[in-house]
Structure formats: structure tokens, C-alpha cells
């Protein structure tokens, strides 16, 4: 239960932060949530990781659908990637790692008190 609540809250907070703050605010959002809603470190990491993965995946799917994949195909070629799906996955994983690490740090932070 805690996992899903954290997942949802992290996702929402990260989305809101992303509107006004730099990209790495996803890590801050995950940090904040995991230091408030305590979970053990590993599970925290997983929550932050999955929250941002899903958030970014969802955002990108929506962008690509609205854009009819015009840009993703061009940029994946510029980046020298085989296909646009790979670019999508790499993007999500980068966000997810930042989110996961943020959440992990939050969990350790909480443990100190």
C-alpha cells in the first residue's frame, strides 16, 4: 500500500516540480516523498525509480502520440540510435535513476532520525 501511495505521490510531485524547476527536480521530489513516507532503502529506490519511469514514459507516450512521432524519429537518428523506442527507454531510465537515487537518499535521511 505504502509503495503505491509513494509511487503516486512521487509521480505527481515530480510532474509539478518539472513544470517550474530543472529536470533533476524529479530526484528532489522522490527525496521529499521517501523522507516523509518511510520505506526501507531498497524499496524506496524502487518506488522512486518506478515513479519517474512511469511518469516519463507516460509523458513521452502522450507527446509522441500528439506529435505523430515526427520528432522522436529525427532525434533518434541524430543521436545515432537504432530506433525511436530505444531513445524513449533511455530517456525514461535516466529519469528513473535520478528518481530512484533521490528516493534512496530520502530513505537514508529518514533513517537518521
User: If we measure between CA atoms, which residue out of 69, 58, 64, 56 comes closest to residue 98?
Assistant: 56
When the beta carbons of 1 and 57 are compared against other proteins, the nearer one is 57
Enumerate residues 68-97 that contact other proteins by CB under 8 A. Answer: 68, 70-75, 77-78, 87, 90-91, 94-95, 97
Could you say which of 8, 12, 38, 64 contacts other proteins (CB under 8 A)?
Answer: 64
Q: Return d(Cα 12, Cα 52) in angstroms, integer.
A: 10
The kind and range of the H/E element at 86 are helix 84-111
The C-alpha cell at 41 is: 532503502
Could you say which of 32, 53, 56, 96 contacts other proteins (CB under 8 A)?
Answer: 56
Site string for other proteins, 7-46 (x = CB under 8 A): --------x--xx--xxx-xx---x---------x-----
Q: Return d(Cα 16, Cα 106) in angstroms, integer.
A: 19
Amino acid at each position: 500500500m505504502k509503495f503505491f501511495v509513494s509511487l503516486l505521490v512521487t509521480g505527481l510531485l515530480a510532474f509539478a516540480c518539472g513544470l517550474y524547476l530543472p529536470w533533476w527536480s524529479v530526484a528532489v521530489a522522490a527525496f521529499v516523498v521517501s523522507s516523509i513516507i518511510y520505506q526501507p532503502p531498497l524499496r524506496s529506490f524502487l518506488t522512486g525509480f518506478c515513479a519517474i519511469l512511469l511518469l516519463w514514459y507516460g509523458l513521452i507516450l502522450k507527446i509522441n502520440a500528439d506529435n505523430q512521432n515526427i520528432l522522436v524519429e529525427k532525434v533518434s537518428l541524430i543521436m545515432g540510435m537504432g530506433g525511436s523506442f530505444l531513445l524513449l527507454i533511455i530517456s525514461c531510465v535516466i529519469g528513473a535513476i535520478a528518481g530512484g537515487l533521490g528516493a534512496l537518499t530520502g530513505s537514508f535521511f529518514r533513517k537518521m532520525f
